[in-house]
Structure 1
């Protein structure tokens, strides 16, 4: 029996085109694998079922597979019966019939195990495929660890069946499960092993498929450059082997689509569009072409190429009417409607609040008719997932058109369906939508609707929290966008909690708003790493430091809100009515004013204006409460602004308080520094490398820090990834000081430090720094003394927070921009001198070092001392 190779069907919470996701089992191969004497009605039924399944006609496929399974049972062919039952389980699961799917897969496993797969290669091959299907179901339902174990067993079975490609596919699937659990290091190691094995395979079709699947999962875990390289190799081999068959064209088209998706994730939109166009041109069927064009349309809308988008939209609409009724055509109608709604926002001059600008009548009619058809198709075959998507999107359409009652009814129906099939990754969207509809798309929710809206948003955020791992590993092929589909849920909920006509929000609402904004910070980091980044534990600030206050500045669409937590006092709140665009403009001006050539008269007005917005209303309370440390949980562009440089008209903030940044108190590991045990690992580059300029003062910096702190030193040629790993693994240095070029970016791939042997991106750095976990004491302080946030990247400081959280260090000291290496050396040397004094916290040591520079004429400008920020534990 020839084994079937289960493709990489990444489970997602949104309808997708279907081309990118490979089928989880190919029953047409099953028919071909039967011995000649067994070619019978059963095999024909399997083939017919496969054709229906590929066309998205799930009910028809299920009926035929059930008949085939009965026929094989009558013939006593239990292996093919088991195989068909696994296909049946996949289709049943697609329809949301989880109980029946579970029963089918369990029966299949039982049938195969009775055939002694350990000694029977044919039985081992079938068992491997059945287990692959079971693992897929487990991952879809959030059981990542169970899926990993199942796929590991499948790998063993594939090896028993002497199926190399099957075992490699199982390893790729195992990496998916590890990624979903947040075990990036293990997932990466496994994928590296798979790539090495694939490279040793001959240039045949199985290698093409393996490389394509590998390229897709590499994109999923965020290794975009490697994903592109692997997919380009897959494409080159596929084109070399290409013949005139539709199957060959489908492979090439699918790889082109995968490349388009990876390149899109890299931000090269025009290049991605070109690959989508090639994929559509190569597609062997109208269905495949239409599915690819839907991806192309979403990118045209995203890139605001409205004229091209409208032309393609009309073409897709015409093609969808010519497709036979199926799940694929239903999802096509849903995706078309979603893009129409997004296009409406672009035509209205940007993304508007729901309901601000009605959809043009012709667009509304097209979308409504298509969605009604999709609802009917889903309902007629019992496909509750499709019906939920169609109803919810139709609710969104009515919401956009300000038809609130219809929107509420349809969204409620969609939510009930999603909950009935235990699909939280769909349900949160309709919970969020209900919250918006209750408030009728307005910024100030009417009193009567406030309770219902708050309840809906609360459930949406709870659902998102439960989906952390799944959302982190979500598939970008389904047009998932964190900034469109997750971030607004949190921000709108915070805005709802803080709304008030006159009185301040209640203490309960302020506490919840603080929790929600911290949850957003954590979700952003998950999205940055494309995996759940850390286990969190809320911390009571009063129990850590009774002389610290926490400041939560929150940027909302029409206001800048600030929540202040003072020790042993009720939360305080103030706001300023300012559009987000105006806040962003002010913060950008602040950064620009801190350039080295700026005059004081350019710097102080904007620094004072920002101080007035953030701290002036609580200035007296801060002064009388005995607070010495201000902990900022910055939001948005505020992460890129040095709070130390705020000015009250008399002095800089750093002259009054120590300043700390943190993504949230739930990420802190509170513990005072044990000075008696301080020792360092100092590494740096003073010579020019990889196109980066020399940093001659790095050698001086390291030499003088070594005089203050017992240390191991890695300088220039000695500073490689391997030597850093060796030192981290063999010494219990509590401080790791890296004086080298580096960059923080909003993309993990572009966040790196420079070693002698090349760039080390944040995920590799994470592996290096965490390698000693469980063996040696954790790193107390990680210092990155010459790194900077990426120019022109408004969310670049997210990379800094990512390094801080993922390094395993209790505290991280880094710089928002690259400063003269001489002034950096002076600041760092002074920092270590102060850190060694009894009773001086890390935050206070940094404050004193910054003030020391501030009082030197050559370095009095905030440009030199302000960019250094402490993240995490300040004690």
Structure 2
């Protein structure tokens, strides 16, 4: 479609046709996830429309449509204020009722995401008044769902329930089966929030039948998650695990095609399912099912990347999800038999309800009554199903069996093979931060995953992380005490296991705020961890190729920002950066040690001069400012010597580094303003460099004296010239 539109654009179009084609191109780019290109096309179309209106040509409807499209791009990017501004501009000019209704719904949606709940309700009320005024019953039902969700978010669960029930009546009346499934699911959520767990389960069963019937995979995943949460609340962990697994597996199966989902489906699915991974891992660890928990922790990293970057695609390995144990698989098969009956019944009932009541025959009315009665039985059937002797036996089998012995998971045992093939005495460490404890999962080349539990509250851990980070940033402060405290929590419980494995390399996938500190800088009371182990961070095992071989010859592209200053704003932050006096020496020393180094200094160090050269080198070294900002990849950036900037989103879309072994940002900063999130921006940086083709990346976590950086980098590259030395060893 994009190629056809671009070819059409090159023909002799009039202004109306041109703006229409540009608007369509923008929509194609938006659906492809190429948001910057979408904005450029939409803005070109907008300029044409506004230019025509200078000559008293009325194109307000077209302008409003384009402004709504621009707003939707900003909304998908998480730039909610920009989205709201665009939607409000559209509302100010659109006069046609359906256009105003759509715009008000959009304003309600983005206001809801910004936490402006009263404003969201007001917008939805205005949209609802329009829908009722023109008797637009389908849209009325959808708006009532939106209203209910806002009431749910502000804790008014009874009001939310009433809104959902009103929506359900309308959506059934108009034959909106996906909407009916969503309404039933939301009614279940309202009952869950009111503490009515059994009633919640009844509605979830109805919702699941419809969502499976209409092939609403995202919605099915949400409802599976909700069933899991309800069973967890009812102290049925074995059953909760089964349903959480189904939710996670659906997420992984559709990850490659999440752009094919509607905006509402993406939002609902991401918001609801993101927590499934952590809850599932927690439950599995409580059941001492460590091998499965490790798999979930790996997929959690992928999910966190998706939450941050919004369009992370999985691979064949992640798409496999988490395998069911044999008793779990048998449970699902039996459960599906019950669900299939519900699906067939619901489909027949929906078809009969589409016949106006005045036109229904007595036989049809009788059949509807029979189906409604059977539907009531199915609402209560889940409890009966879980009490069936054959189902109870399967759950008992899960309780009594050593879970790891049941697993036939080649994709998990591959981790040990990968570690063994590295021939570096490597182990894989996954920590999981929970509210009242840390779970440490260690995999070695020759044993199943090992679990160690450390009782420490999340708030206490985060405080220690902040203290340690501040002690490292300020040279006059003592870093040993906080470094030792973190060592006691993260490494000491594993000391015997590390010794038994004769570990020399720790491959580390940190969780949450642990991403803001270097594991290598922990202290055991005698020395730093880096003196005992090489430490490599990874995004996730399932996204890492352990078999890549570095190129033998160093071919370096080195850029430096040494002089001048630049002031600019990104999002709601103001930045002011000056040149780094030692950056020039850093690059010159590097060039002296590695013949043939390509040097780009200050004005020569521009986007235009640098990016096309990236893939011609094995090492890319940038001695310049960079900032990894939490929340929005579009606001994280690298600054070039001439003042150009490239955002992490641009890196994702335009950088190619398939020949690059290593990229270095020696003056990078994270945690700006002492505001630490969950480290997703650091995880995202590593993933983007990896997905662009680079085999490894090094970046500083906070601002460091550039003289010290120059000395470190000079020693690092000198060490890199040694035979058979890894990057971690050189560092």
Residue from 475, 483, 490 that aligns with 1:614:
490
How much does 1:525 deviate?
A: 2.4
Match of 1:512 among 260, 273, 292: 292
Which 10-residue stretch deviates more, 643-652 or 473-482? 473-482
CA offset at residue 684 of structure 1? 1.6
Q: Tell me, what secondary structure is at the counterpart of 1:756? A: coil
* 1:631 to partner: Cα distance: 1.3
Output aligned runs, 1:299-448, within 5 Å: 324=135, 326-344=137-155, 359=156, 363-364=157-158, 366-440=159-233, 446=235
Q: Does 1:647 align with 2:508?
A: no
User: Per-residue deviation at 1:619?
Assistant: 0.9
> What is residue 276 of structure 2 aligned with on the other side?
489
Q: Could you tell me how far apart the structure 2 residues matched to 1:201 and 1:270 are?
A: 25
**2:345 equivalent in structure 1:** none
Contact 2:258–2:266 (8 Å) recurs in 1: no
Q: Is the 8 A contact 1:536 1:667 kept in 2?
A: no
Query: 1:716-741, CA deviations, whole angstroms, 9 ceiling, x for partnerless residues?
Result: 22222222234335x3x211111111
Matched, 1:661 2:537: yes
Equivalences for 1:518-529 in 2 at 5 Å?
518-529=298-309
1:824 offset after TM fit, Å? 0.6
Q: Assess, with a 3 A threshold, how the Cα gap between structure 1 residues 651 and 481 changes in structure 2: closer, same or farther.
A: farther
SS at match of 1:480: helix
Task: Tell me, in whole angstroms, the C-alpha distance in 1 between the residues paired with 2:304 and 2:638.
Answer: 21
Task: Report what 1:4 is aligned to.
Answer: none
The structural deviation recorded for 1:607 is 1.8
SS in 2 for 1:571: strand
Alpha carbon RMSD of aligned pairs, Å? 3.6
Partner Cα distance (2:232, 2:671) in 1: 39
Q: Assess, with a 3 A threshold, how the Cα gap between structure 1 residues 321 and 613 changes in structure 2: closer, same or farther.
A: farther
Alignment partner of 1:172 is 2:26: yes
State how 1:622-637 maps to structure 2 within 5 Å.
622-637=498-513
Partner Cα distance (1:270, 1:715) in 2: 37
| 1:734 counterpart residue number | 618
Q: Is the Cα–Cα contact under 8 Å of residues 431 and 459 in structure 1 kept in the other structure?
A: yes
Task: Tell me the CA shift for residue 299 of structure 1.
Answer: 5.5
Taking the aligned partners of 1:393 and 1:627, their CA distance within structure 2 comes to 50
Q: Contact (CA 8 Å) 1:752, 1:760: kept in 2 or not? A: yes
SS of structure 2 residue aligned to 1:402: coil
- Confirm or deny that 1:808 pairs with 2:709: no
Change (3 A) 1:579 1:484: farther
**Aligned ranges 1:11-160 → 2 under 5 Å:** 148=1, 152=3
State the partner residue of 2:453.
575
Instruction: Indicate if the aligned counterparts of 1:800 and 1:814 stay in contact, CA closer than 8 A.
Output: no
State how far apart, in whole Å, the 2-side matches of 1:437 and 1:196 are: 47
Verify the 8 A CA contact 2:256 2:314 in the aligned structure 1.
no
- 1:593 maps to which residue? 471
1:562 aligns with 2:440: yes
TM-score by length of 2: 0.75
Preserved contact between residue 751 and residue 799 of structure 1 (Cα < 8 Å) = no
Aligned-partner Cα distance in 2 for 1:263–1:459? 32
Deviations 1:119-156 (A, max 9, x none): xxxxxxxxxxxxxxxxxxxxxxxxxxxxx5xx655776
Aligned twin of 1:724: 610
Q: 1:735 and 1:536, CA in 2 relative to 1: closer, same or farther beyond 3 A?
A: farther
SS in 1 for 2:430: strand
- Work out the CA distance in 1 between the residues paired with 2:106 and 2:467: 37
- Number of aligned residue pairs: 614
Match of 1:781 in 2: 662
Residues 374 and 767 (structure 1), Cα distance of their counterparts in 2 relative to 1, 3 Å cut:
closer
* Preserved CA contact (<8 Å) 2:281 2:293: yes
Shift of 1:158: 9.0
SS in 2 for 1:573: strand
Q: What secondary structure sits across from 1:594 in the alignment?
A: helix
CA contact (8 A) 1:297 1:309 kept: yes
Question: Structure 1: how far apart are the matches of 2:515 and 2:204?
Answer: 36
Shift of 1:541: 2.3
Q: Matches of residues 465-484 of structure 1 in structure 2 within 5 Å?
A: 465-471=252-258, 480=267, 484=271
Alpha carbons of 1:161 and 1:499: their partners in 2 closer, same or farther (altered >3 Å)?
Answer: farther
Contact 1:744 1:799 in 2 (8 A): no
* Partners of 1:612 and 1:734 in 2: CA distance: 38
Deviates more, 1:640-649 or 1:389-398: 640-649
TM-score (norm 1): 0.63
- Distance of aligned partners of 1:472 and 1:512 in 2 relative to their CA distance in 1, 3 Å threshold: farther
Q: Offset at 1:311?
A: 7.3
Q: 1:456 aligns with which of 243, 255, 258?
A: 243
Among residues 703, 709, 731, which one is paired with 1:824 in the alignment?
A: 709
Q: Determine the structure 2 residue equivalent to 1:712.
A: 598
Conserved in 2, the CA contact under 8 Å of 1:745 and 1:789? yes
Partner of residue 761 from structure 1, selected from 647, 654, 659: 647
Does 2:462 align with 1:584?
yes
Q: 1:780 to 1:742 in 2, by over 3 A?
A: same
Q: 1:789 touches 1:817 (CA, 8 Å); kept in 2?
A: yes
CA contact (8 A) 2:519 2:529 kept: yes
Does the CA-based 8 Å contact 2:244-2:280 persist in structure 1?
A: yes
1:808 CA displacement: 1.0
Distance 1:251 1:393, change over 3 A: farther
Q: CA deviation at 1:671?
A: 4.4
| CA–CA separation in structure 2 for the residues paired with 1:161 and 1:736 | 45
CA distance in 1 between counterparts of 2:231 and 2:181 reads 19
2:723 aligned with 1:838: yes
State whether residues 255 and 312 of structure 2, in contact with CA within 8 Å, keep that contact through their aligned partners in structure 1: yes
CA distance 1:387–1:533, shift in 2 (3 Å): closer
Whole-angstrom distance in 1 between the partners of 2:565 and 2:130? 54
Partner in structure 2 of residue 744 of structure 1: 628
Question: Does the 8 A contact of 1:783 with 1:812 survive in 2?
Answer: yes
- Contact between 1:745 and 1:751, CA under 8 Å: does it hold in 2? yes
Secondary structure, aligned partner of 2:523: coil
Unmatched segments (≥5 aa) in structure 1: 1-147, 206-236, 345-358, 847-875
What is the distance in 1 between the residues matched to 2:275 and 2:307?
14
Deviation at 1:629, TM superposition (A): 0.9
Determine the structure 1 residue equivalent to 2:351. Answer: none
